[in-house]
Amino acid sequence: MASDSYNSAIRCLALREHSVVELAQKLSRKGFEEAEIRDAIEQLQAENKQCDQRFAESLIRSRINAGKGPRWLEQELQQHNLPANLIQQVDVDWSELATQVRAKRFGLEPILEQSEKARQLRFLQYRGFTMQQINLALTAEHER
């Protein structure tokens, strides 16, 4: 018979993928004991109902679709105790994504003022892009 912690975890996973860390935190907040949580998660993994690799793939796809860069993803994966090198398995042109994010927000017109360039640079940095990717995105209007 399934335990209450197992059933609670199944309800969480029915809504979306969760990492082990995230699932354990949710179950802990619901008052379940650590041993009970560990047993429930081990059972879920044995049944392939919880998989950190699947969670990471879902998270990465979601954040790329939201226009987040590799640094943003690295930080978020670390929060879930997942290796940041999972990002390297994704086939995405980060410079092109940065250009698309910039175009959506600011357009691709040439930047004439330094203050505007600084504003767009900060925006792309916040979104998690590297300086190399940002520089390519900021000069993209010349290539189009």
Q: CATH assignment of 94-142, given 1.10.760, 1.25.40, 1.10.10, 1.10.3470?
A: 1.10.10
pLDDT attached to residue 141: 60
User: Among the ranges 79-83, 105-109, 110-114, 119-123, which has the highest mean pLDDT value?
Assistant: 119-123
Band (144; pLDDT cuts 50, 70, 90): very low
Q: What is the pTM of this model?
A: 0.82
Q: CATH assignment of 4-50, given 1.10.10.10, 1.20.1300.10, 1.10.3720.10, 3.60.15.10?
A: 1.10.10.10
Question: Across the chain, what does the average pLDDT equal?
Answer: 91
Q: What is the domain partition of the chain in residue ranges?
A: 4-50, 53-89, 94-142
pLDDT attached to residue 90: 84
Residue 9: is its pLDDT beyond 60? yes
For 13-22, write each residue's pLDDT tens digit.
999 999 999 9
3-class SS of residue 132: helix
Cα separation values, 65 from 44, 48, 69, 139, Å:
28, 26, 10, 22
- 4-13: long-range contacts (C-beta < 8 A, 24 or more apart)? 4/32, 5/30, 5/32, 5/36, 5/37, 5/39, 5/40, 6/39, 6/40, 6/43, 6/44, 8/32, 8/40, 9/40, 9/41, 9/44, 9/50, 10/44, 10/49, 13/44, 13/49, 13/50
For 30-56, write each residue's pLDDT tens digit.
999 999 999 999 999 999 999 998 999
